[in-house]
């Protein structure tokens, strides 16, 4: 698991969007006040720009350098490397659990998975990086459903929460998520994957 010492310090360098905890008005105001001080330096060079974007992707998905490097190498072999990399990252079990609202952060989702609370197609899976496929079904283990970790699913009582992406179909009352489609990548998705490939092609 990727260990993060100071999320606020990292978010000031890479952008608020990489952590759920830094996507607040308070952080945005603090960031605006400090922008003039941080202009220039590392981000001005091609290498600096590539490094920052690579780090954004790493911290957004909470993965190690080796994991991202492996994902990028495999994706680069595909006809559309950016779409393939995006799909590989989004289809990690921990990310799907987070996107579906089973946990409020990706870090919490990783813990849910590693502690054995989730099932994939009825089988207990404890690997956060497990690659989910279109048509797979993710559910909460029967013995875990009364845990306070999932109390919000009962309270919400919504079949399809509004913040869940369209490629997922949620039945929170049933503690179940179906992967009905594959996530699509667009250049406006917030992460610049071509720049990540530039970094690894040096």
Q: Please determine, for residue 197, whether its predicted confidence score (pLDDT) is greater than 90.
A: yes
Q: Looking at residues 173-194, what average pLDDT do you find? A: 90
For position 151, what pLDDT does the model report? 87
Helices (H), 39-192: 46-61, 65-75, 81-90, 93-99, 106-114, 151-156
Looking at residue 130, what is its pLDDT?
Answer: 98
pLDDT reported for residue 194:
95
What local confidence, expressed as pLDDT, does residue 61 receive? 96
For the stretch 2-34, pLDDT in tens is 555 566 566 566 665 666 655 555 545 555 455
Is residue 45 predicted with pLDDT exceeding 60? yes
CATH number for the segment(s) 90-179: 3.10.290.10
Summarize the chain as % helix, strand, coil (round to 5): 55, 10, 35
Residue 38 banded pLDDT, cuts 50, 70, 90: very low
70-89 pLDDT tens trace = 999 999 999 999 999 999 99
Query: Does an H or E element contain 38, and which?
Result: helix 25-38
**pLDDT above 80 (res 102):** yes
Question: E strands within the chain?
Answer: 118-120, 123-124, 137-140, 168-171, 176-179
In this prediction, residue 154 carries a pLDDT of 72
The pair of three-digit structure tokens given for residue 40, joined into one six-digit string: 């220039």
Closest CA to 130 of 92, 99, 160: 92
Give Dmax (Cα) for the chain.
Answer: 53
pLDDT at 191: 92
Nearest to 134 by CA among 162, 167, 100: 167
- The angle subtended at Cα 94 by Cα 172 and Cα 175, nearest 5°, is 15
Give the predicted TM-score (pTM) of the model.
Answer: 0.79
Q: What integer pLDDT is reported at residue 88 of this predicted model?
A: 98
Alpha helices by DSSP H, listed for 62-129, are: 65-75, 81-90, 93-99, 106-114
Distance CA 11, CA 31 (A): 9
Instruction: DSSP letter for 78, please.
Output: S
- Percent of the chain surpassing pLDDT 90: 66
């Amino acid at each position: 698991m990727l260990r993060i010492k100071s999320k606020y310090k990292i978010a000031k360098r890479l952008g608020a969007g990489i952590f759920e905890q830094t996507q607040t008005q308070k952080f945005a105001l603090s960031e605006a006040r400090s922008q003039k001080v941080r202009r220039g330096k590392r981000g001005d060079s091609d290498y600096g720009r590539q490094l920052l974007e690579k780090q954004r992707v790493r911290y957004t998905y909470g993965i190690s350098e080796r994991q991202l490097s492996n994902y990028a190498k495999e994706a680069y072999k595909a006809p559309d490397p950016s779409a393939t990399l995006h799909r590989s990252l989004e289809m990690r079990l921990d990310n799907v659990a987070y996107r579906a609202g089973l946990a409020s952060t990706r870090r919490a989702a990783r813990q849910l998975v590693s502690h054995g609370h989730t099932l994939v197609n009825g089988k207990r899976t404890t690997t956060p990086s497990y690659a989910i496929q279109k048509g797979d079904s993710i559910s909460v283990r029967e013995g875990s459903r009364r845990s306070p970790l999932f109390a919000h699913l009962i309270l919400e009582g919504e079949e399809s929460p509004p913040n869940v992406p369209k490629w997922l179909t949620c039945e929170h009352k049933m503690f179940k998520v179906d992967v009905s489609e594959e996530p699509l990548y667009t250049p406006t998705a917030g992460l610049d994957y071509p720049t990540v490939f530039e970094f690894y092609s040096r």
